[in-house]
Structure 1
Amino acid sequence: MKTSLFALSLSLAVAPAAAQTLAIDPHVDLPKSATAPGWSGKADPTSQFDLDRARAGGLNAAAIALFVPQGTRDAPTLARAQAELRVRDGAIHAIAERNPALAVFARSPADVRDAAARGKFAVIESFLNAWPLGNDLDQLDYWYGRGVRILGLVHAGNNQFADSSRPALQLGDTPGENGGLSPLGRAAVRRLNDLGVLIDVSQLSDAAFDQVLALSRAPVIASHSDVRGLVDNSRNLSDGQLDALKAKGGVVAINAFSAYLRARSPETLAAVAALQKQYGLKPGGPALAADRQAEYDQRFHDIVGREPRASVADLVNAVDYAVKRIGVDHVALSSDFNHGGGVDGWADVGEIANVTAELKRRGYRDADIDKLWSGNVLRVWQAAIDARDQAYRPVAVARR
C-alpha cells in the first residue's frame, strides 16, 4: 500500500514518541492471512495490523472483531459460519498466545492498563454480526467465556436479531423487516447487559439503534461510525443519534472509512444503481444465488474502489463535528483496518501519530487527545461492567 506525500510529511514531522500515553483502536478486523497455519499477527505485510507496527506507531490495544459475513439463515449455512467463527477466534487468541513477550489477552479495562504498564499490547476480542449464533442466546455466554467483551448485533444485512442500516438486497432483505430489534434481539440486549458486555450500536438501523438505547441498562459504543451531518449515508449517525448516545453516556468512535467521510460522487452512485438494476436487486426482491452474490460484490467494490480516498484531515473533520455536537467525553477514534478502513495518513497501525498531529494542529489539548484515543472507550467499557455488577449487588437488609 502506497503512502501519500501528505502521510509521509506528517510521519517525518511527528515521531511515534510524540503519541499519546495510551491508544486503543476499538474496531480492527482480522486479515485474510489470519487463518493460515502459524499466523501470529507479529509481522504481516498483507495486513494493516500487526504487533510490530503497532509497537512502532504507539498503539497499545485493539478490539479485534470476531466476524463472519452475513449469509442465509438455514441450518447448514449457520453451521459452516459457526465453524469459521471458531477458526477466527483461535486466530485472535493466537496474537497473544504466540507472542507472550509482546501481547496479552485483555478481558477488562484494568487488563488493558496493566498491559500498557508492562509494555505489552492488549488484545481485546469483540464480536460483529450475531447472525451465526442462530436463535441460541446461550451462545452469548459461550463467547463471553472465550473473552468477547464488545458485541454488535448486525453487519451489512438484516438478521434474526435486528435490522441493519444496510439491508443486503442480494440476500433478499426487506428494510425494517424486524421493526428494529426482533424479540430475540431484545432478549440479546438484556443478556449482554447481564454479562457486562459492551453493546456496539454501529451498523444498526435507525429504529434498532433507538431501541437498543432505550432497552440497555448500560451505556453503549458505536465502535466504527461516522456522522450523517457531513455525509448523508444510512451507515452514519444522525445528529439525533449522537445526542441520544451522549444522553446514554455512550461513545462514538469516528471511523477512518473513506466512503463515510467523503460523499461518493454522482457518477459512482449512478454506476452502483445501474449495477443493482442489472442484477435485479431491489428491497424485498429475490436473493441472488451464491455465485451471483460473489460476482455482484466484486463488481460493486470495483466501482466504489475508484473513489478518491479520504485523508486524516477528513477524519478529524468528523471528529470536530462530533465533539462540537456532543462533547469530547463522548468521542473516540477507530480504523476498521482490514475491512476497508484506512485513510491517507492513517493507512495502518503504524501511523497513528499522524492523527495525533492533526488533532494537535486543530487545538486539541493533550488531556482531550487521551480521551479520544483511550479514555472514553475504557470509561464506557467499565460502565457496562459496573451496570452488570450493580444489577446483581445484594440489597442490604436493615436490622431492626
Structure 2
Amino acid sequence: MTTAPASARVVLISAIASGQGKTTVTAALARKLRQQGKRVRVFKTGPDFLDPMMLERASGHPVYSLDLWMVGHAASRRLLARAAAEADAILIEGVMGLYDGTPSSADLAGAFNVPVLAVLDASAMAQTAGAVVHGLRDYGPVDLAGVIANRVGSARHAQMIDEAMRDIPLLGTLARQEKSLPERHLGLVQADEVSDLESLLDGLAGQLDMPEHAWDLFPVTTLAYDPQDETIEPVLKGKTIAIARDAAFAFLYPANIDCLQALGAQCVFFSPLANEAIPPHADGVYLPGGYPELHGQALADATQWQQSILQAHAAQVPILAECGGMMALADELTGLDGATWPMAGVLPGRVSMQKRLAALGPQAWATEHGELRGHAFHYSSLDSSLAPAAYAIKHSTGTQGEAIYRLGSLTASYFHAYFPSCPEAVAGVFNGQERT
C-alpha cells in the first residue's frame, strides 16, 4: 500500500561539466528561496560529502544523496516523497555533466519526471551559450525548464545570452563572484571551516538575479512510495555504536546514521582530534572518512584516543574504518610535504598522500549478507603487509576495486559504504558476523 502522494516543485540543477558553478548556484537559490519564506530541501546526486555540507547550511536541513544505483530507485523515490511532504521547493544538485555517469543526472531526472535547470559558466562566451544549452537539452533529450547563467560580466552580457536562448528561458543570472566557495584537493572545504559562510551564502543569494515568480514557473511534481520498502529488522537493538565526528572524520552520510538507528543501535559521537577516548560502553566503533592528513600532528598527539582504539581492538569490539578512518589506524601517515606522523598502529602499514587522484567512482562490496554499495575517492595509498580479505568491485566495469582488510574485529578499506543499500551487511559488521 503506497502512502498518500505528496507534491512540491522539484528541479534538478545540472550543467555541461564540473566547474560550471552548480554548487554555488544551488546554494544561492536555496538561500534565496528560504529568504522568500519557502520551505526548502536539497539533495545531492551521487556520492558526495563536501557539497552537502555547504548545501545544508544554505537550506537549513540535512542533505541526502539521490542515486539510481547507490541509493536505488525505490529509496530515492521514498526520500523525494518524504521531502515533498515537508517542503515547497526541492533542489537536486547534479554531479559532473548532465549526461555523465552510469546512471547519470539525466537518468535521475527522467526517472522521477523532474525538470532540469542548467547552470552555464558564461564568463567566456555570449551567443554561443544558446548553442550549448540547446545541445544539452536535445542530446537526451531532457525537460529543460530554464537556465541560470553564472559569472555574467554585465547587463549587456546577460542580454546577449538571453537573446541566444531562443525558446529556453533564461531564469536568472549570477555575476562574477569576488569571493566564492573555497576548495581543496577533494573539492570544497568543509562548511565549518569557513568562518563567514553565512554572510557568503547571503551574499550569493543577493547576487542571484532571479525574479521571485520564476520559481512558480516550474511544474509541481507529485510523488508517493510504498512504506514496506523501508522495513528494517532492528538486529542491533541494545547496541551502542561510537562514531568519530570532527574536522578529521566528517565524511558521514546522514542516511548512514539513520540506518544504524533503524537497525536499533544508539549512536554516540566522539572526537579523536579533541583526544577523546572511545566511550567505554560502546559495542562498536565507526570511523568515517575525512581529512586526517590535515591534522596529522594533532592525531599523533592524541594518545588517549589512540590508546582507546587499541584497547577496543584488543577487546574484539567491531570496528569499521573507511578511507580517512583507515588512514588514522595505520602505523604512520605521510603528508604531501613529506612530514610523517605516527598514527594509532592498529592496521600494519604506511599511508602516503599523493598529488594525483588514486581512485574515483562507485563500487560495491559483495558480502555474505548481500551487496553493500558505495564509492571510493582518495588521494593517498596504503602500503601494508596485510593481505586483503576481499575486494570491492567497480561499477559498472566489474573490475577489481578497493581492498578490504580484516584484522581481528577490524574491517578497513578506502571504500565508503552507503549503509541503507544493504543494512544486513552493516549489521553483520557491527555484530561481528561479516566474515567477507
TM-score where L is the length of structure 1: 0.28
Bigger strand share: 2
Higher RCO (CA < 8 A, seq sep 6+) = 1
Larger Cα-atom Rg: 2
Bigger helix share: 1
